[in-house]
Structure 1
Amino acid sequence: MIVCVLLLFAWLPAPILSLKPVSAHRRFEYKHSFKGPHLVLQDGTIPFWTHHGNALPSSERIRVVPSMKSQSGSVWTKSNAAFENWEIEVSFRISGRNRIGADGLAIWYTRERGATGPVYGAVDHWDGVGIFLDTYDNDGKMNNPAILVVGNDGRLTYDHLNDGGSQTLGSCFRDYRNIYHAVRIRVSLTEPGTMDPSSQLPSVEQEEYQKEYERFEKDLEKRKDEFQKEHPELQTPDEEAFETEGQREFQMVAGGQRMIHEELKKLRERLDAAFTEQRRHSEHLSRMGKDERTTTAGGHPEQDTGDSERLALLLNGQKEMVQQVQEISVNIADMLSKVRQSQQSLNAIAEDKSHVNEIQEHIHVVKNGINSLTNTKVQQVSCPEVPPIPSCTSAWHFLVFIVLQSVFFLSYLIHRNRREIHSKKFF
């Protein structure tokens, strides 16, 4: 029994859109295919297919695994693929937030349906062929993502540590992770002696491709010769014209360290300048203390003891100040950046302060005016009497108006009701 499966063992989401095996005569086999919309039935099952593990089928696609670690899922056909020649087309997407992928995706063509296992979510020692889309670099050779074809007769143990290693029948490298559009893979199987229909090209197209290739090759050789004639000093061997990925990363690290070294050098120069300035001030103060001590000793010998104590206190204060300056100089670079940022805020504060001063002046003027008003004696002024306001209407007129309004309103309601009854007779 030979079945075909599309399986993913990873925490990365990989929805599968279609799987279409066809025969040598391009006959569509609906029992070996699925495609949205209306992919699943009301009970959540896929017609002619079974899903296992953490697979999540929906109306548009099948999500083989959710976005969680250590998850596996699979989708298997119920019918046997008893075809001598067949071709399948798989549309899928593998995406995730992490730069490091999980195990990957596998397309199985085996004798029996595989259960959950360690090889891309399926059992090891399979009997058939597996097409692996490997997205995790187990051997550390930076050769992922890759597409591998591995065959097994039921006795081979898959080499996980070396990503298949010498067990692969063929491989290629292709970046299919985190791509906005769906990726399509077409796999065909033909009997020996039979040409693969997908690989056949008309003779006219083959001739056009060959002519175009020869034309581009001649143009490239011509440009290379012209460049070598114009720049004879740039004779670089081909193996030295390109840098490896490790060399590129090393250059990036070296460039970053060079920038850090330059910044540290500038900071050290600023610290040296600050220390020099501080030392100059300290020497100047010490010299002034010596001159004052000499003057005191020559003119007033009775005050020598008090002056010496004051000078000792002054020198101790200078030493403490030097220590504080040394501690502060460590953060000079940060302080300079903060000062630049605070200059703008200081300008805004100065403007606000001028506005505040103006407001205070206005408040002072208003306060003086209020004080002058409160201090002045105000004579009691009697308000004039308000004349009586005559009423606009009497009670009798108001009642008559209400009665007339009610009569008119009732007449309008009766008239509208009659018109509605009269209009209903025509329907």
Structure 2
Amino acid sequence: MSSFSINLLLCSISCILVITSTQQIVHRRFEYKYSFKPPYLAQKDGSVPFWEYGGNAIASGESVRLAPSLRSQKGAIWSKQPINFDWWEVDIMFKVTGRGRIGADGLAFWYTSQRGEYTGDVFGSSDRWNGLGVIFDSFDNDNKHNNPYIMAVINDGTKNFDHKSDGATQLLSGCLRDFRNKPFPTRARIEYYMNTLTVYFHNGLTTNEADYELCFRAENVVLPRGGFLGLSAATGGLADDHDVIHLLTTSLHSAQQPGGQQISNDEQQKLSQEYQEYQKKLEQQKEDYRKEHPDEVREKDEMDDWFESDGQRELRQIFQSLGHIQDVTRDLHKKVDEVIGKQMNSLSMLTAVYSQSQTGQPVQPGQQVQMPAFPITRHDWDVFMSNNQMMINTVSELKAFTLEIARKTDAALSAGGGAGAGGAAVNPQFLSELRDNVNQVKQTLAGVAQRVSAPAPAALGGGAGGACPSVSCVSTGVLLMVVSAQLALMLLYALYKEKKEAQAKKFF
């Protein structure tokens, strides 16, 4: 067991030594001959130092517009010299903007053994390239709804790019990212180190330079040595502005490479000490110049007062906005106070009027009046609401009754043929009711006649014989005459009423 433990320990130590020996420290160096950035990106004659551009590309002091937002535009920019290092990292800041919901065609970064064309068929560069192309494709040619898309395509100089499928069968790797119409410039970091290609992407939604996300990583990627760096863009039926703000190239070196030789600690301390001495000397020279030229320093300070920095401008705008908000709030407070004062004045006047109506004594203008209790209680309010509801119901019933009378009148007029000039038609229902009443009167009279003709009883109240009472009796004929007169009067009244209703109907 002891020998086995010793062997295991030796194996572990050997593995650790091998790992530490294979670890390499990456040294980075900025390559200005393969980079461009603002300000003064382009010279006065329009040229970009160490770079050449052509086609529809336009260079300015702040950016290079590879393809403007016009149809069928192509442009490219290429480094004049090939790179002289194996591993590199390129940081590209660009903006792709357009008014359309869909853009076209896109932008591409190139690392090829030969410089491409400025008006080529593949995003403004040549087809059948030998090397790497990182394409930012914004138009969906295959209609699969997978654009904007970032992809890497390796070509050995013998293949044509498949535009119909957006290079789906030729790409090395890629990711779906939207880089159009962002509030801030988008960025892409392309790193090629130890045959490993890594692409990071910044979505342009923030200004944080460290806000990168991994797009893809591909291993075992072999690229030709000493290639040219380039950028190109193209538009088609749709168009976007393709602006490149900067392209920064950094060479990557390991500890074994000549370009990555490490400086010793003594040399680093010496350089740092020299730098500090230089800083002190520079500050001393500035101070001496201020003492010798006080007028110029004063004029410079006065000139500085005329201008403001971005931070000062933002603070000034914030303070102005706060002052405006305070002014508006103050005006609102004044208006609210005025409204409250008017309400209190109206309330005091109503209180004075109510007190005067309750006591019968006038209230002096300066007299303090106590607020009386509310004159309407909850019970009174409920009674008032119930009476109001009852009134509404009564009105509804009257309306219904009036409509019913109108309907019956229309029916009577239609049954009798309308009213004539001298009288009105009689309602058949009324005649039937009148006939029933006459029959009832006849029956009553017949009963009365039977009682009159019947013999009187022999005795009333205790056996005493009796005779007809001493009253003046009316004969049957007179009674019939009186009843007939009453019936005639009722008939005349009914006819008169029907005539009035018919005339009233005509007015309506």
Structure with higher RCO (Cα < 8 A, 6+ apart): 2
Which TM-score band (shorter chain)? Answer: 0.3 to 0.5
Taking structure 1 as the reference length, the TM-score comes to 0.40
